[in-house]
A and B are shown apart, each in its own frame.
Chain A
Amino acid sequence: MVTHYKCPNCGADMEFDASSGKLKCHSCQREESIEKMAGLNNIPDGAQVSYNIEDEDKKAEQTFFEKDYEDPLFEDNSTHHHAFSEHEITEYHCQNCGAVLITEPQTTATRCSFCGAGIVISERLSGTFAPDYVIPFSITKEQAQEAFKKWCKKGLLLPSDFKVADRIKDITGIYVPFWLYDLNGKGEAVATCTKVRTYTRGDWIYTETRYYNVYRKVDLDYLKVPCDASKKMDDSMMDKLEPYTYGNLKDFKMPYLAGFVAEKYDYDDEQLLPRVKNRVYSYVESYLKSTISGYTTVHFNKLDIHIRKKDAKYTLLPVWMVCYDYKKAEHTFAMNGQTGKIVGKPPISKGKVAAWFFGVSGSCFLLLRILTLIMEGGW
């Protein structure tokens, strides 16, 4: 099923607006709350719809435009009806223009490549693929573009012609599927520690070593540790995008996706569990080790750490993907759609590396020589 969000006012396509956090119609600037628009599309079969025609709607009705607004009850008129199966590439049609939607099996939201309307494929967001949470975009496309340009200017090793940031080929807002894991880590450590003290009596220097048996046990809860569930996205790049602020974590509603690209997960939470467990293992380990302090040496005899998954929530997190053409090569950058943090692999200018290397080394050397001269009074 393909879902469009139509402006109740003028019937144009509405899109999620990052600055207001609402759905916005770009033709008549009307804004609608997510809850309302989500409700419109989620009305159970057979329910009576009472639609209060507001003033705007009345006006709209009087202007006799076709498809001024859609009756929510008729929303499920998807153009394709055979049963959805996961591995099948299903063909969808844009409800606006009838063009075939070019989607990959993972795509859950996209734009019609023909008319540009934001589309949500609700079928792929239901059942096991229904996300629990979403963090909506809080950075708009324009802000993202600006932030990217600013970031480029700050890069000390980037080539000058790259810094101009005038070749942004494409900037796409993507909701990337993540699993947010709640994990419990229990750790136990037995260590032999020493405290060493030296003192002088007469002509002798004494070294006293006191041995301790040290035992520590920790019980740690880690909440909402994210793990990228998309095959397409580079794992390390996605990890670097963290942290997200969970204050803005919302229960998932489809209208959030309107106007953006979204994908469903390629890996389920079981498949990604080892990766996230590994990560949390190191957290527990360093926490455990940090509890032993005040000793000269620490030798671990036993270090037992167990990580248990308590919960995993399917969550869509906002990422701006920036494609940048530079010297015939395409560089891809990702920006945290909530905090604006940028990661990627920018080109490195050899000249600038050389300049920095020589600049820093040279001035250090000069400084050291001057210091030597001052203190020595000669070469």
Chain B
Amino acid sequence: MTMNKLLIKLAKTFILYFAAPLILLSAVYCIVAGSFTGTAYASTDYVTDYENGRRIFDEAGLLTDTEREYLESLSKKYGEQAGIEIIVLTHNDAHAVYPEKYIEDFEDLLPVDDRVYFLYDLYRGEIFMEGYGLAETYIHSKRIDEIFDSVEDDLRNGNYLEAFKTYIIQSAAYLEDDTELNYDHNYKYDTPPADFDADNKYTYDDYDYNYHYKSYYKAEQKKNNILFNVWFQLLISLFIGGSVVGVLAYSSGGVMTAGARDYLDRSKSGLIGCKDQYTHSTVSKVRKPSSNSSSGGGVKSSGGFNSGGFRGGVSSGGRSHSSGGRKL
């Protein structure tokens, strides 16, 4: 009874003195932490803009309004002609996810359709393309590389309008081109391009890409791991603190230490009957989960990083795509 009283008292004290300030503290922490984490984009705005017909999302502000409107009309025209949506993304956000995931997340916001994306990540100085639906087939890794070859110089020289124009027109053109469609995503340059530097880790063959993003990708996985979640950690800490105080309070008045071992007469006690009889067995079997099935939820877009040469991936929303990227 007295222990109960103590516990009730403890609980009351806890609520009065700790819970309220704690919630306050946590809120402050989250505001502070939140300002650091900052999500890449406000998803609802993008969806609204997309529904209003926008295809050019120039977050980095590379284009003037007239240039953007020109590209919008171009994208619409060539898109309708090719039967896909041609989308341009740019940003200069230090806290945005890595390019492949950025596009995947964007795609997951939108209704399923045939789309090709071109992302210019100014912060990283990388360009990345992904093709969904029809575009996955028609705009595959090799063709993505070819588009990159065409736009690279313009981007470097700041001719953004020209670069995006080329991308839109060339993408649309590939949809008409039925050759090379059995392309197996194992594209390798027959002969390395002139400026290919095997020692440069930013040269975009798959292996290097993998190398470059390995740490980033792991961090991404960790972010999604519950063990690294701020709230989870706070909860764990509170639990540990509570347990410590609880144990201290409980043991402050002394605990029972005498048990059976103190009174058992070992000389006269023991097991006097013991039988273990096997009766029967049952066996059940399940099929081994196949190794290429997705684990469900979380980050799945590992396809683009396979060092085996396959380029492409699957978004969190389950959309598979072709892909390719390059460091500018």
Q: Which residues of A does B touch, CB under 8 Å?
A: 155-158, 188, 193, 200, 203-225, 239-243, 283, 286-287, 291, 341-346, 348, 350, 353-354, 356-362, 364-365, 368-369, 372, 375-379
Contacts and interface: CB of A to CB of B under 8 A. Distances in A.
Q: Give the one of A286, A368, A377 with max B CB within 10 A.
A: A368
B241 A358 contact: yes
A343 B262 contact: no
Given A200-B288, A209-B282, A221-B265, A157 B237 contact: no
A342 B254 CA distance: 7
A286 B261 CA distance: 11
A364 B269 contact: no
B181 interface: no
Contacts of B271: 216-218, 291
Given A215-B277, A218-B271, A360-B245, 6 more contacts: A213-B277, A216-B274, A220-B270, A240-B253, A358-B18, A375-B228
B283 A208 contact: yes
Given A216-B273, A217-B273, A354-B18, A344 B253 contact: yes
A295 B213 CA distance: 47
Contact of B249 (A193, A342, A353, A375): A353
24 contacts: A155-B252, A193-B276, A204-B286, A209-B283, A209-B284, A214-B277, A219-B272, A221-B264, A222-B263, A222-B265, A240-B254, A243-B258, A283-B260, A286-B260, A291-B274, A345-B2, A345-B6, A346-B252, A348-B10, A357-B242, A357-B245, A364-B236, A375-B228, A378-B219
A152 B279 CA distance: 59
Contacts of B245: 157, 353, 356-357, 360
Q: Give the one of B33, B269, B282 with max A CB within 10 A.
A: B269
B188 interface: no
Q: Give the one of A217, A220, A286, A287 with max B CB within 10 A.
A: A220
B274 A345 contact: no
A222 B260 contact: yes
Contacts of B10: 348, 353
B252 A158 contact: yes
B279 A212 contact: yes
Contacts of A342: 254
A342 B6 CA distance: 19
B19 to A, nearest CB: 11
Q: Give the one of B2, B14, B219, B282 with max A CB within 10 A.
A: B282
B73 interface: no
Nearest to B273: A217
B17 interface: yes
Interface string B14-41: 1001100000000000000100110000
Interface of B: 2, 6, 9-10, 13-14, 17-18, 33, 36-37, 215, 219, 222-223, 228, 230, 233-234, 236-238, 240-242, 244-245, 248-249, 252-260, 262-265, 268-288
Given A222-B263, A360-B240, A372 B228 contact: yes
Contacts, number: 195
A308 B282 CA distance: 42
A91 B234 CA distance: 67
The A interface, classified by DSSP as helix, strand, loop or mixed, is: mixed
A222 B13 CA distance: 43
B22 to A, nearest CB: 8
A157 B37 CA distance: 39
A375 B236 contact: no
Given A217-B271, A217-B272, A379-B37, A157 B253 contact: no
B290 to A, nearest CB: 9
Given A211-B279, A218-B269, A240-B255, A368 B237 contact: yes
Contacts of A206: 283-285
B6 A348 contact: yes
A214 to B, nearest CB: 5
A364 B272 contact: no
B237 A376 contact: no
In the A-B complex, list the 10 residue pairs whose CB atoms are closest, starting with the nearest: A361-B241, A217-B273, A343-B254, A242-B258, A283-B260, A365-B237, A364-B237, A221-B265, A243-B258, A360-B241
Given A210-B278, A214-B276, A372-B228, A354 B17 contact: yes
Contacts of B233: 365, 368-369, 372
Contact of B234 (A211, A218, A365): A365
Contact of B263 (A188, A224, A348, A368): A224
A346 B254 CA distance: 10
Contacts of A209: 281-284
Contact of B265 (A158, A223, A240, A354): A223
A228 to B, nearest CB: 13
